[in-house]
Amino acid sequence: MGAAQSATVNDVTAGYWNPAGLVNIKSDLQFSLMHSEYFAGIAKYDYGAVAAPIDSMRTVGFSAIRFAVDDIINSLELIDKNGQIDYDRLKTFSTADYGFIFSYASRTKITGLNYGANFKIVHRKVGSFAKAWGFGLDAGLQYQKDKWRLGAMARDITSTFNAWSYTLTDEEAETLIQTGNELPENGLEITLPRLVLGVGYKASFKKISVTPALDLDVTFDGKRNVLIKSNPVSIDPHFGVEVGYNNFIFLRGGIQNIQTVLDVNNKESKTAQPNFGIGVKLGNFSIDYALTNIGGSDNVLYSNIFSLKLAINKQKRNSSS
For residues 261-282, give the mean pLDDT.
87
Identify the CATH number of the domain in which residue 148 sits: 2.40.160.60
Inside any domain, residue 43 = yes
For residues 253-282, give the mean pLDDT.
88
Question: Under a CB-based contact definition with an 8 Å cutoff, are residues 14 and 22 in contact?
Answer: yes
- The predicted structure's pLDDT at residue 300: 59
Inside any domain, residue 6 = no
- The predicted structure's pLDDT at residue 104: 97
- Cis omega before residue 19 (within 30°)? no
For residues 72-93, give the mean pLDDT.
77
Q: Which comes out higher in pLDDT, residue 271 or 300?
A: 271
Inside any domain, residue 319 = no
Give the range of the structural domain holding residue 119, as residue numbers without chain letter.
14-312
Closest by Cα among 193, 123, 108, 127 to 164: 123
Inside any domain, residue 7 = no
- pLDDT by residue (tens digit) across 97-134? 999 999 999 999 999 999 999 999 999 998 888 899 99
DSSP 8-state assignment for residue 48 = E
Inside any domain, residue 268 = yes
Inside any domain, residue 4 = no
Q: What Cα–Cα distance (Å) separates residue 180 from each residue in 33, 61, 188, 200?
A: 44, 48, 24, 53
| Number of compact structural domains in the chain | 1
- The predicted structure's pLDDT at residue 16: 95
- The predicted structure's pLDDT at residue 77: 72
Question: Under a CB-based contact definition with an 8 Å cutoff, are residues 59 and 48 in contact?
Answer: no
Q: Indicate if the pLDDT at residue 46 is higher than 90.
A: yes
Inside any domain, residue 5 = no
pLDDT band of residue 317 (cuts 50, 70, 90) is: very low
For residues 49-59, give the mean pLDDT.
95
Inside any domain, residue 320 = no
